[in-house]
Amino acid sequence: MRAAVTAICKDQAIILNTRPFKENDLLVLFFGRNSGKISSIARSAKRSLKRFGGGLDSGSEVIAHFTVKSSSALATLSEIELLDGHLPLRRNIAHLSAAAYVIELVMLATADEEANEALYDLLSQSLSLLEERVTPTFIRAFELKFLALLGYRPNCQTCTNCQAEVQRLKNDMYPFSIREGGLLCPHCTAEHKSVSHFLPEKSLFFLRALQRIADLKDALQMSPAPEITTSLDALLPTFISHRLEKPLRSLAFLRSVLLKG
Ligand SMILES: [Zn+2]
């Protein structure tokens, strides 16, 4: 029998999810900048404020000290140092539900122990920006950057199937296929019959502009017409859910609070 190998690790991390486990322990899922998504157990965490004080809330950024054993699927989280608890976003239900949504997307899209530094930085920046403000356009911009980092960028330029030029239909709409991953030309529209959405021209142009923004915070300055917001809300979350092959559980609540705001 091979001896179990133990590695002692330290990494900058974002807490994704914390759940009670046994009497005093917590199960903590975190996303390490260099270590990827790690499932861990924080022993006696409910009693040990010294080792974990206030830093195990979902969305908190920490330095995680943990050990990984080759014989166990669960790492042991021994201690954390709190870097940023993102407290302002916990005071507003819209900001908090947006944070829950971006965290859920990262949680669903990542495999265990697979690092993705760019995705980590996107999540970290988003949580900071969400302390101040949340708009539907900000959420769409996050989704587009998220999709691009995963290699799922929606094709909004040419026909996704044959690269031909796309054409506006008589009603100013462009055929879009979630299954194919983007726009379709008239020929492929007729051939494939997989059109899931008809995208109004104004929405398409706005979507292209949103894909071009260099910095996520620029999205907070953009305020498209309500019908554009509505059509992109109907498109992008469905696109993501299809790509990840998973339902987005926190989406309905986020939608309800954004509509009220
Ligand atoms: Zn085509």
164 Cα to the center of ligand 1, angstroms: 5
150 Cα to the center of ligand 1, angstroms: 24
229 Cα to the center of ligand 1, angstroms: 27
95 Cα to the center of ligand 1, angstroms: 40
32 Cα to the center of ligand 1, angstroms: 41
Chain region(s) in the chain for CATH 2.40.50.140 = 6-91
Closest CA to 77 of 3, 8, 4: 8
22 Cα to the center of ligand 1, angstroms: 56
179 Cα to the center of ligand 1, angstroms: 14
42 Cα to the center of ligand 1, angstroms: 53
187 Cα to the center of ligand 1, angstroms: 6
186 Cα to the center of ligand 1, angstroms: 7
CATH code at 135-260: 1.20.1440
pLDDT at 43: 93
CB atoms within 10 A of CB 65: 16
pLDDT at 45: 87
Q: Which residues of the chain have pLDDT under 70?
A: 1-3, 261
236 Cα to the center of ligand 1, angstroms: 21
pLDDT at 228: 97
pLDDT at 18: 95
176 Cα to the center of ligand 1, angstroms: 11
pLDDT at 70: 86
184 Cα to the center of ligand 1, angstroms: 5
149 Cα to the center of ligand 1, angstroms: 25
190 Cα to the center of ligand 1, angstroms: 9
245 Cα to the center of ligand 1, angstroms: 25
pLDDT at 152: 97
Angle at 136 between CA 126 and CA 104, to 5 degrees: 50
Say whether domain 6-91 belongs to CATH 3.40.920.10.
Answer: no
102 Cα to the center of ligand 1, angstroms: 33
Chain region(s) in the chain for CATH 1.20.1440 = 135-260
170 Cα to the center of ligand 1, angstroms: 18
What's the pTM value of the predicted model, to 2 decimals? 0.95
